[in-house]
Structure 1
Amino acid sequence: MEEIATERANNIIITVTEPQKIGEGMSSYVAYRVLSKTNMPIFNKHEFAVHRRFSDFLGLHEKMTEKYLRSGRIIPPAPEKSIVGTTKLKMSSTSSTENANGANTPSSVQSQFVERRRAALERFLNRVAQHPVLCIDPDFRQFLESEADLPKATSTSALSGAGVLRLFNKVGETVNKFTYRMDESDPWFEERSARIEALETCLRRLFGACESLANERRELGVRTHDAARACAALSGADPHAPLSRALSNLADLHEKIEHLRVEQANTDYYVLTEHIKDYLGLIGAIKDVFHERVKVFQNWQHAQMQLTKRRENKAKAELANRPDKIETASQEIIEWEAKVERGQQEFDQISRVIKKEVERWEEARLDELRTTLLRYLDEHMKHQAKSIRYWNAFLPEARAIK
């Protein structure tokens, strides 16, 4: 499949909509409608829709990782599990509110949690869809097309036995990353590793600043609401009619500004902050494939050490004139020479694939970041234009006070 994949812009667009809570209590879950539109001939239709639960997305990511990470493919990260957020969502009532699409969703904080997860799932699927190899994977096509429920991915549960085992494996992998350092001989990897580390540091600082900005903007909206209530109360208590009318209009103005602040905070968070978090996840995926390359190098070096050891054993057997041991050592040498050759081939192959993957990611990153910044600026310019219109409309009321 990797041989027939071409470096083309895949014409497939995926939309994740209508998050809907199914069931009650801890056995409940949220299902999402996954709508796909494409003209790629490998799919049976040009447009199709299925319903998937969060664990299905995690199961897809796990399958992709098992099949392609060792070959050096960058697997787009799936949204992180949140035990606290998921538990609150499970214990909330399904009859609280309805979203714009008509699906039942929990209100306030829970609805924000669901929307953040929905947007992250949509970005995950579209990143997979734009990858020239991952997009033609049979499991990915089944995920998008099959109307039947997928087998439950129990291994994705954070509290399952498989989940605990996977956690221990991740801890072991992390320890291995810190304890083993490979003497890099390729200037390309040396330069890219340093660049990615610097980029990750800067993005983490930017993510923290943008997250604080969104929170402060929400707090500003709350304070604007307080100002609106105070102005409304004052307008009812002031006996001067023109001043009372102006204060009443000022209260209405602050209510409009309050909603505008909330919209601005959502723009800060959903348009910019979440995308920065996405890039941090992608950098983590890149570091994972770099580590896979180190593991392949370790296996290659281990095979070379074993080959050297077998050659030493043969030399000792020849000095001791032990024909039986000479024959055994010769056979082992042939086997380990083949392993060394395979190890070098695997290392060269994964190095080539990673270079191609990183270069493709860097090109896509520039386009995505440009699009994100332009959308972010456009949204804030619209917000500022609305704010100016609101204040200009109030100005005659203030001047009319006599």
Structure 2
Amino acid sequence: MLASSDDAHLNGVNGNTTHEDEFHPLDLNGHDPEPIPTPSKQSQQQYTPSTTPTAIDLESEPPELDSRTNRTEEVVDLNTDNNLQVDISDALSERDKVKYTVHTKTTLPEFAKPEVSVVREHEEFIWLHNGLTDNEDYAGFIIPPAPPRPDFDASREKLQKLAEGEATMTKDEFQKMKQELEQEYLATFKKTVAMHEVFLQRLAAHPVFRKDTNFRVFLEYENELAVRGRNKKEVVGSFFKRFTQSADEVLLSGQKDVDDFFEREKNYIVEYHSHIKDTMNKADKVCKLKRNISDTYGKIAGNVEKWGQMETASGEKDFGRFLARIGEIFERLKKTEARCGTDEELKLADTLRYFSRESEAAKDLLYRRMRCLANYESANKNLERARAKNRDIQKAESDQADACRKFEDISSLAKSELLELKKRRVTAFKKNLTDFVDLQVKHSKTKISLLQSVVASLKEDQ
């Protein structure tokens, strides 16, 4: 049966052992593409037929290298100093948990050590994100979106089915499918690690978030944080809070903003978020179709290969060799199409997905500001009523001054955050879409070259 512990290990997450045209999901800085590691020698060990399915070992240890270079995205940095550098130098998958080794190097006096490494799990990243969103002092900032929960269910299900169907496969078929699924698993694993790292680097680059107490505890405390997930009551409370916010947004949507800049930004962000989310869903469909094309090429290759074996066995050796070569062509087309689909997902779909979530965070910021504006206008009306009645004037003036201060503070911060988001977003899309088109051209040339060489080779055999 399938190995009881589906472990995958990435030591120095930026291994550079294979494909030159595979990328970090949000590589926005023009550094060399980040590869997907190949399965370890252990996972490629000699296959021995048996009556029971063979355990599939997902452990992989790419060569160690300095993962603390070429990691921070230039357009994400809100300051230019390097006195706080954070990266995920190692990661280990154990069944439904992933343990991330977070490495921090700093010259900031607030930290007890200049360099420290701690092990964190996904729930602790969520705890850190929740702490930021719940802190009223950060109401004027765009909170970086939390990293998505690791999801390896699809890969594990495929591996389980492969293990169960081992007895019906040939040695070569099993080894080929096993290696492909291991690479798919490791690619998903690596992308998950990258998304968690991007979240931390966004915080480390921000001049305010980097000083957050919880963030410093997250980076420095070398034992487990022992944070727990939200219980049912808290989950319901969070859902109710979100529902209340949605209803409040509807009520505030008709309110005219006193600042033309924010009125334009509100209309733009709402429409932008709708378009980018729709584009992301369509890009995901295209990537799925590309994977289906690759899988279909693989099935054609397998069937043509079997056909060639039948022809060879019946005495048609020349025709059998011809079919074998055709099968190889489809196998190579499968790999090219798979690479094309992977690049499209990393450079297009994942970029859209990230900024879809960040635009949602920008919408939350605009909502918080509109709520402050509504509170300020309400405080003004209360002050007018208090003066008319000549009662509780001092309290009304205090409330009005407090509401005014909060509104002015959040407006000042929100304006700079929205302008920074626009610069970051434009730079990211320019780079990633350019990379995407370059890769499409490269893959098209590869396909043409492959087919031309095949045609020339087949003509020589005639």
Specify the TM-score bucket, using the shorter chain as the normaliser.
0.7 to 0.9
Matched, 1:290 2:358: no
Which residue of structure 2 lines up, in the alignment, with residue 139 of structure 1? 214
Q: Which amino acid aligns with 1:57?
A: F
Retained in 2: the 8 A contact 1:69–1:289? no
- Percent identity over paired residues: 20
Q: State how far apart, in whole Å, the 2-side matches of 1:203 and 1:69 are.
A: 29
C-alpha deviation, 1:289, in angstroms: 0.9
Q: Is the 8 A contact 2:256 2:263 kept in 1?
A: no
Say whether residues 1:375 and 2:443 are aligned partners: no
- Contact kept, 8 Å, 1:69 with 1:75, in 2: the verdict is no
Query: What is aligned with 1:30?
Result: 98
C-alpha contact (below 8 Å) 1:246/1:397 kept by paired residues = no
Report the more deviating stretch, 107-116 or 384-393: 107-116
Deviates more, 1:11-20 or 1:209-218: 11-20
Q: Residue in 1 aligned with 2:408?
A: 348
Aligned amino acid, residue 184 of structure 1: D
Find the counterpart in structure 2 of residue 71 from structure 1. Answer: 139
CA RMSD of aligned residues (A): 3.2
How many Å separate the matches in 1 of 2:233 and 2:357?
25
Unpaired stretches in structure 2, ≥5 consecutive residues: 1-76, 164-180
The DSSP-based 3-state class of the residue aligned with 2:329 is helix
Find the residue that maps to 2:461 and give its secondary structure.
coil
Q: How does 1:5-24 map to 2 (within 5 A)?
A: 8-11=79-82, 13-16=85-88, 18-22=90-94
Identify the residue that residue 270 of structure 1 maps to in structure 2.
Answer: 346
What residue is the counterpart of 1:279 in the other structure?
355
Once the two structures are superposed, residues 247-305 of structure 1 have per-residue CA deviations (whole angstroms, 9 ceiling, x without a partner) of 21221222122122222222222332112111011111111111111111222222223
Distance 1:293 1:211, change over 3 A: same
Report the count of equivalent residues.
363
Measured at CA, do residues 306 and 86 of structure 1 come closer, stay the same or move farther in structure 2, by a change above 3 Å? Answer: farther
Change (3 A) 1:401 1:163: same
Q: Give the residue type in structure 2 aligned to 1:206.
A: T
| 1:10–1:129 Cα contact (<8 Å) kept | no
The Cα of 1:93 is off from its aligned counterpart by 10
The residue type paired with residue 165 of structure 1 is G
Equivalent in the alignment of 1:257: 333
Does the 8 Å CA contact 1:307/1:333 hold for their aligned counterparts?
yes
CA contact (8 A) 1:243 1:401 kept: no
Shift of 1:221: 0.7
> Contact 1:13–1:38 (CA<8 Å) still a contact in 2?
yes
Whole-angstrom distance in 2 between the partners of 1:68 and 1:387: 55
Contact 1:69 1:292 in 2 (8 A): no
Structure 1 residues 206 and 303, CA, compared in 2 at 3 Å: closer, same or farther?
Answer: same
Q: Report which stretch shifted further, 160-169 or 386-395.
A: 386-395
Maintained 8 Å contact 1:70/1:292: no
Shift of 1:152: 0.9
Q: Cα 1:396–1:108, aligned 2, differ >3 Å: closer, same or farther? A: closer
Structure 1 CA distance for aligned equivalents of residues 208 and 454 of structure 2: 57
Report the structure number with the largest CA radius of gyration: 1
* Shift in alpha-carbon separation, 1:381–1:15, aligned structure 2, 3 A: farther
Letter in 1 for 2:221: S
CA deviation map 1:325-348 (0-9, x unaligned): xxxx2xx10121121122112211
Structure 1 gap ranges (5+) = 1-5, 98-105, 315-328
Contact 2:78–2:205 (8 Å) recurs in 1: no
Q: Secondary structure at the match of 1:33?
A: strand
After superposition, give the CA deviation of every residue in 1:138-168 in whole Å (9 maximum; x if it has no partner): 322322233221131433xxx5322222111
- Aligned residue type for 1:232: E
Structure 2 contact 276–356 (Cα < 8 Å) conserved: yes
Question: Who is 2:117 aligned against?
Answer: 49
- Aligned CA distance change for structure 1 residues 51 and 389 (closer, same or farther; 3 Å): farther
In the other structure, the counterpart of 1:227 is: 300
Equivalents in 1 of 2:404, 2:298: separation in Å?
66
1:185 and 2:253 aligned: no
Partner of 1:207: 280
